[in-house]
A and B are shown apart, each in its own frame.
Chain A
Amino acid sequence: MPIVFACAASHAPGITAWPEAAPPAQKERVYGGFDELRARLDASGAETLVLLTSEHWANFFLDHMGAFCVGRAEAYAGPIEPWLKIDRREIKGDPALAAEIVETAYDRGVEPSFAYELQFDHGTMVPLSLIMPRMDRPVVPVLFNTLAKPQPSARRCLELGRLIGEIARNSPRRIGLIATGGLSHDPGERNHGIIDSNFDHRFLAAMVDADAETLAGFSRADFAAAGAGAFELLSWVALTGALGGAKGEVVAYEAVQPWATGVGLMSFAAAA
């Protein structure tokens, strides 16, 4: 079955925690973009979703940090942040699909860690609450270490994405993919609030063109220069790998100062 839905979306906590801080026109365009993604998800008939998302210290700490972690739980809860203005709730997991991802990856020389218990924070809950507010499809979270050096390379993320895409296409079920995070931002760090729109446009252009080689060529230094949060774009690179060349469309891009983030939303045609 082709991948029936794919999108990428920023997850800045300000989107839900302090939406009123954004200039109204920007807020409207971002929220309009999320409405569009929600409509496309609903129209796609997707039965289950793989969430390519960022670890933000919600689950892992420096006592044990892996590059990737696949969630195999029956259910997840989130958000952990009481200030996010998203009600805490439970979201069903899809352990069968998760097992297939883990086992296939191991057979093919990529060894993600896996977990039967994970919590969701803003990195997953902000986009999910806007794209799938009823939380009515099961999910498989795939967490990326975007925090602790060394983060996985973009090329490795592309490779993991390709595996996930292949599994999704070979599945008899209708699978959707959501990548979350980015674009340029330096959350909580010295350059908090500084947005690098030039970087954002360069990255988005490569995503639109599904230019896997350019995306795989983004180095740790490239991401770091666009702020610590730009490493979250590793999940977007993985999405391009999963989609195997499907071109993307920028649904919205706004450099939203009060949210301290270059906020981008992309949608991708169903990948063959």
Chain B
Amino acid sequence: MSVYALQKLLRDVNRIPERREAYFRSPAEFAAGYELTDGERAALLGFDVRALYDMGVHGLILRPFTILHKMSDPEYVKALRGGP
């Protein structure tokens, strides 16, 4: 039940410039500062948007995070709805 920590991490990246810089400098090092499950860490570091969504990340945390990754709206929709 640590989707709480995962959302906290993503939200920190979205709203705190220093955290954002640290994340983009080294996502793995940055992630080590949060209590994520192995699955959450893998989804984060693999930028697996669908997996992050399915884990329960709120849309208004996930979409801004993907915008920081320069993901367009059509790409985002495809990531969420595509696949199984």
Contacts and interface: CB of A to CB of B under 8 A. Distances in A.
Asked if A and B are interacting partners, one says yes
Interface of A: 14, 17-18, 21, 56-58, 61-62, 80-83, 119, 121, 147, 186-190, 192-193, 228, 258, 260
Given A119-B15, A192-B77, A57 B61 contact: yes
Contacts of A18: 73
B67 A192 contact: no
Nearest to B68: A83
B31 interface: no
Contacts of A58: 15
Contact of A188 (B8, B11, B17, B62): B62
B25 interface: no
A30 B37 CA distance: 44
Given A57-B58, A57-B60, A83-B67, A192 B76 contact: yes
Given A57-B61, A186-B59, A192 B73 contact: yes
A14 B74 CA distance: 13
Q: DSSP majority for the A interface?
A: loop
A63 to B, nearest CB: 8
A190 B81 contact: yes
Contacts of A80: 14-15
Contacts of B4: 62
B80 A192 contact: yes
A121 B61 CA distance: 13
B59 A81 contact: no
A190 B80 contact: yes
Chain B, interface size: which category? 20 to 34
Nearest to A119: B15
A5 B61 CA distance: 33
A121 to B, nearest CB: 8
B62 A57 contact: no
A146 to B, nearest CB: 9
Contact of A258 (B8, B14, B20, B73): B73
A114 to B, nearest CB: 20
A147 B58 contact: yes
Contacts of B81: 190
Contacts of A61: 7-8, 11
A83 B8 CA distance: 20
Contacts of A56: 60
Interface in B25-84: 53, 58-64, 67-68, 73, 76-77, 80-81
A104 B73 CA distance: 43
Contact of A193 (B14, B53, B62, B73): B73
Contact of B63 (A62, A82, A119, A188): A188
A41 B15 CA distance: 30
B26 to A, nearest CB: 19
Contacts of B67: 17, 81, 83
Nearest to B81: A190
